[in-house]
Amino acid sequence: MAEIVDPLLVVVLLINFFVLGTSRMHSIVNGSAAQGVVLGAIALFAHGKFGVASLIIAGGAVVLKGVIIPSMLFRALRDVVIRREVEPLIGFVPSLLTGAFGTALAILFAHTLPLAPEHVGTLLVPTALSTVLAGFILLTTRKKAITQVVGYLILENGIFVMGLTLVDAMPFLVEMGVLLDLLVGIFIMGIMINHIQREFASQDTTHLTQLKE
């Protein structure tokens, strides 16, 4: 299993770096979509057996994270004139470096954690941790509402990878529930982005600073 899953996990890590380093909004959304498709493939192989349930979950992940959610984000992007994330809180190179440093730490850290025999030496846990971290970096350092949503998506992707270590513990219904919650969450966020756009003629969340002490 590891010989198929590990290269795919490396792809997930590379997409993290790509998303951290690019300023084009379309590339960021595309990156998250590609990551969603790869995660679906990983889910299929990680189950070990090709049952109906694992097919549905993998398919659901691909359709949701790879097609539906990105197309919702693209729709939100359509009216925006600005196509780039300008002036993030920290630059692209520093955030890339932070991501790389975090990944190195995650790999080292995962070595010190007690892992079940079948997970020793695989990239499952380090990828999960470093993807969560990449999501956090995007969420906290970017100002555009869409980029923050993509950050949340990537964070969720990292958690999805962690969930793959427990495939047998997660019943089918719960897994579908998690995916459904994600879909509805992004849907509502999309509506909110739309309203931010209309209210301020921009998607910059720095406009959202009226409420403070």
Partner 1 sequence: MAVLLVLAPILCSAVAFATPSNRTRPSVVTVGSLVQLVLVAFALTRPHVEGLNGWLLLDPVGRIVLGFTALLFAAAGLYVPGYLAQRSERPNRIFCTCVLAFMGVLALITEAHHLGLMWVAMEASTLTAAPLLYFNRNARSLEATWKYLLLGSVGIALALLGSFFLGYAAFYTGGEPSLLLADLVQNAPNMSRSWLHAAFMVLLVGYGTKMGLAPMHTWKPDAYGEAPGLAGTLLAGALTSGAFVAILRVYRICAAAGEADFARKPMIALGLFSMLVAGVFMARQKDFKRMLAYSSVEHMGILILGIGIGGSAVFGTMLHMLNNGLTKGVLFLSAANIHRAFGSKSTDDVRGAIRRVPISAALFLAGFFAVTGSPPFGPFLSEFTILNAAVSSGQFVVAGSFLVMLVIVFMGMGSTVLLVVQGEASSSTIQPLERERVLTVAPGIFLIALVLLLGIYIPEPLDALLRSAAASLEGP
- Residues in contact with partner 1 by the rule CB under 8 A: 113-116, 132, 139, 145, 148, 152, 155-156, 158-159, 162-163, 165-166, 168-171, 173-175, 177-178, 180-181, 184-185, 188-189, 192, 195-196, 199-200, 205, 208-211, 213
Nearer to partner 1, 93 or 118 (CB): 118
Nearer to partner 1, 101 or 200 (CB): 200
Nearer to partner 1, 87 or 118 (CB): 118
Shortest reach from residue 138's CB to partner 1, in Å: 11
Distance in angstroms (rounded) separating the CA atoms of residues 138 and 125: 20
Alpha helix locations (H) across the chain?
Answer: 2-21, 25-46, 52-61, 69-78, 92-112, 124-141, 145-163, 172-200
End-to-end CA distance of the chain: 54
Output the six-digit token pair for 167.
């495939």
Shortest reach from residue 125's CB to partner 1, in Å: 9
Shortest reach from residue 200's CB to partner 1, in Å: 8
State how far the alpha carbon of 62 is from the alpha carbons of 37, 45, 130, in Å. 5, 13, 21
Shortest reach from residue 62's CB to partner 1, in Å: 20
The residue assigned the tokens 């969930």 is 163
Nearer to partner 1, 76 or 132 (CB): 132
Nearer to partner 1, 7 or 199 (CB): 199
Contact 36, 69 (CB under 8 A): yes
Identify the CA nearest to 131 among candidates 6, 1, 19: 19
Shortest reach from residue 71's CB to partner 1, in Å: 20
